[in-house]
Amino acid sequence: MASSQARTIHCKIGPSILNSNLASLGDECHRMMEEGADYLHLDVMDGHFVPAITFGHQMVQSLRKALPKSKCWFDMHMMVQDPDRFIKDMADAGADQYVFHVEATQDVDKTIRKVKEAGMKVGVAIKPKTPVEVVLPYVEHVDLVLVMTVEPGAGGQKFMDDMMPKVKTLRKRFAELDIEVDGGVSPDTIHHCAEAGANLIVSGTAVVKSESPRDVMVKMREAVRVQIPNWKNISS
Ligand code: DX5
Ligand code: ZN
C-alpha cells in the first residue's frame, strides 16, 4: 500500500504446504506451481507463539534452490514470537514476503521497518481474537494484511466465518489493499471470503489433498474474481 498510484486488484491463490507430504516438500512445491498456484504460503512455527514447530530459514534456502525467484513467490507466514529475530535469515534464504503477527512483537512499526530494510515485502497478521482496529494504524505502511480464519497453529481446521467483518472493514476502508485470508478456506467457504473482500487466498488441505489442485484453485480464483466489482458496495 506504499504507493499512492491507483492499482488493479487481483485474486491470487497461495497453497499452504503445511499439510502436504513433507518428505518430498520440494516436489510438492513444484507440483503446486505446475497446477497453477500464484505463490506459495510457507508456515513457520516456533513452538512458542504457537505450540507446533515447523521449519526455519535453512529449509527455505533449500526450497529456494529448487524454485528460483523468477518462478515462485515465497510468502512467509511467521507464527513466531519476536519476529525481528528471523528477518535477516529469511531474507538471505530467499523469502519474498514476511508476514508477522502483531501479537508477537512489542514494536510493530520497528518490525515493519526492518522487514522493508531487508528487502522483503511486509505484511501484518491478526489472530481470531485480535480486533481489526489493532492493524488499522499500520495499513498504510504494509503491503498486505492477513486475517486469520482459524487459530494459527495447524492446518485442517474449520473456517471461522465470523472473521469476515474484519475483512469487510479493511476492504471498505482500503479499496486497493491486499487482504489475505488463511485457515479452512476451500471451495465450500471461499464465497464468504470473496464477498467480504479478500483477494489473497491461502488454502492448505483443500488444495494439497485434492485430486485436482488445479480445479480447486481455478474455482476459488473465479469465486473471488466475480465479486471484485461488488467490493465498492461493501457495508461492514
Ligand atoms: C494455520 C496455517 C495455515 C494452514 C492452512 O496455522 O497458518 O496456513 O496451514 O491450512 P488449511 O487450509 O488446511 O486450514
Ligand atoms: Zn498460514
41 is in an annotated binding site: yes
Would the CB of 125 count as within 6 Å of ligand 1?
no
Q: Is 180 domain-assigned?
A: yes
Q: Is 158 domain-assigned?
A: yes
Q: Is 236 domain-assigned?
A: no
What are the pLDDT tens digits along the chain (236 aa)? Answer: 545 567 889 999 999 999 888 899 999 999 999 999 999 999 999 999 999 999 999 999 999 999 999 889 999 999 999 999 999 999 999 999 999 999 999 999 999 999 999 999 999 999 999 999 999 999 999 999 999 999 999 999 999 999 999 999 999 999 999 999 999 999 999 999 999 999 999 999 999 999 999 999 999 999 999 999 999 999 86
For a substitution probing ligand 1, which of 18, 25, 189, 216 has the most ligand atoms within 8 Å of its CB?
18
Q: For position 31, which CATH number holds?
A: 3.20.20.70
Report pLDDT for 143: 98
Which cell numbers in the block locate residue 76? 512467509
| Count: domains in the chain | 1
Report pLDDT for 235: 82
Q: Which domain holds residue 61?
A: 12-228
Own/partner contacts of 133-139, CB < 8 Å, gap of 24 or more, are 134/102, 135/102, 135/170, 136/173, 138/102, 138/108, 138/109, 138/112, 139/1, 139/170, 139/173, 139/174, 139/177
Would the CB of 57 count as within 6 Å of ligand 1?
no
Would the CB of 220 count as within 6 Å of ligand 1?
no
Residues 6+ apart with CB under 8 A from 230: 195
Q: Is 50 domain-assigned?
A: yes
**Cα R_g (the chain), whole angstroms:** 16
Report pLDDT for 5: 60
**Helix or strand run (H / E) with residue 45:** strand 40-45
Tell me the CA–centroid distance for residue 12 and ligand 2, in Å.
15
Tell me the CA–centroid distance for residue 90 and ligand 2, in Å.
16
Tell me the CA–centroid distance for residue 46 and ligand 2, in Å.
13
Q: Is 174 domain-assigned?
A: yes
Q: Cα-Cα-Cα-Cα dihedral of 40, 210, 35, 167, to 10°?
A: -40
Q: Is 1 domain-assigned?
A: no
Report pLDDT for 31: 96
Q: Is 187 domain-assigned?
A: yes
Candidates 38, 143, 178, 182; catalytic one: 182
